[in-house]
């Protein structure tokens, strides 16, 4: 792809400095800081091993997605404009792993996230839509993201973001009650869950029983101290994996979200996977 481009900084707050709002601290708070790109205009964008995701190689490498709405930032993230050989420009958005569990899992080396161009995704715990916007970039115009968020305050931001992104369907409902939004959601290829509730395995299973196709996949972000803060994180992750196995999920891999999140892990796998045929002698 070898095209070069420059970086547009989302003016003002947190311009790549030690931190945006609430400067310093974890990855520079909201703005630039460790999770973003440093300036310099010699940037080369190359495809990541996950389809629909890219790496911008400059002074520092950054994870980026192709902006579905060029010219617009969603959460004050940096944008990178790359000129193609034919003179057209493609705009990418920097995906900050300190602000997104999915980006942290990708940088943690997960084998497969199953979220790819054209995929239909149910996203539980969408919050104000930071990660949802990048998933929207990845699945593209042929895909769709059903984004469920219970908090009305976060939901407002989510709804506003979805106005410009035709492939995002915001649903302001409680993920514990999928029956309430069953008329809005079709069958999906992937469920991504980031609900940080003690019964999140049950919430995922309930939604999967309504919406996840057999042979589909799941990605769940587990925050250990949300489930049980009295035992080691590893023990929490192991017990959650067991719960998933009892609900027709087949966990295939687990990655830690260190150094971006403390005591978090992502578990990825399949749902109601077809039985392998036994070979006849």
Q: Side-chain half-sphere of 169: how many Cα atoms within 13 Å?
A: 16
Percent of the chain with pLDDT over 70: 84
Instruction: Find all residues with CB under 8 Å of 208, minimum gap 6, and list them.
Output: 191, 216, 218, 247, 248, 249, 271
| pLDDT band for position 278 (cuts 50, 70, 90) | low
Q: Is the per-residue pLDDT at 12 higher than 50?
A: no
Name the residue with higher pLDDT: 196 or 277: 196
Question: Using an 8 Å Cβ cutoff, are 30 and 76 in contact?
Answer: yes
In this prediction the pTM is: 0.84
What does the pLDDT look like over 238-266, one tens digit per residue? 999 999 999 999 999 999 999 999 999 99
Q: Is the per-residue pLDDT at 20 higher than 60?
A: no
Secondary structure of 217-263 in the HEC alphabet?
EEEEEEEHHHHCCCCCHHHHHHHHHHHHHCCCEEEEEEEECCCCCCC
Tell me how crowded residue 276 is: count the other CB atoms within 10 A of its CB. 6
Instruction: Over range 41-50, report the average pLDDT.
Output: 88
**Residue boundaries of the structural domains of the chain:** 4-94, 101-271
What does the pLDDT look like over 54-67, one tens digit per residue? 999 988 899 999 99
Closest CA to 212 of 114, 141, 120, 117: 120
pLDDT at 244: 92
When the candidates are 3.40.50.150, 3.40.50.720, 3.40.630.40, 3.40.50.1010, the CATH number that belongs to 101-271 is: 3.40.50.150
């Amino acid at each position: 792809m070898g095209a070069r481009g420059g970086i547009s900084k989302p003016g003002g707050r947190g311009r790549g400095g030690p931190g945006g709002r609430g400067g310093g601290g974890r990855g520079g708070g909201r703005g630039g800081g460790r999770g973003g790109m440093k300036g310099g205009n010699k940037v080369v964008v190359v495809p990541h091993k996950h389809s629909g995701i890219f790496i911008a190689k400059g002074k520092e490498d950054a994870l980026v997605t192709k902006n579905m709405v060029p010219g617009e930032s969603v959460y004050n993230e940096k944008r990178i404009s790359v000129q193609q050989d034919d003179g057209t420009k493609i705009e990418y958005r920097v995906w900050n792993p300190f602000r997104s569990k999915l980006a942290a899992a990708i940088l943690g080396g997960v084998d497969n996230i199953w979220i790819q161009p054209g995929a239909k995704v149910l996203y539980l715990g969408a919050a104000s839509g930071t990660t949802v916007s990048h998933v929207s970039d990845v699945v593209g115009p042929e895909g769709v993201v059903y984004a469920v968020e219970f908090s009305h305050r976060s939901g407002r931001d989510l709804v506003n973001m979805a106005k410009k992104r035709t492939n995002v369907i915001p649903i302001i409902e409680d993920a514990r009650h999928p029956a309430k939004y069953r008329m809005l959601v079709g069958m999906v290829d992937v469920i991504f869950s980031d609900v940080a509730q003690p019964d999140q395995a049950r919430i995922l299973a309930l939604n999967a029983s309504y919406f996840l196709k057999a042979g589909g996949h799941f990605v769940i972000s587990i925050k250990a101290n949300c489930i049980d803060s009295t035992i080691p994180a590893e023990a929490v992750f192991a017990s959650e994996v067991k719960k998933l196995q009892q609900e027709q999920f087949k966990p295939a891999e687990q990655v830690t979200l260190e150094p971006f999140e403390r005591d978090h892990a992502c578990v990825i796998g399949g749902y109601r996977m077809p039985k392998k045929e036994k070979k006849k002698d």
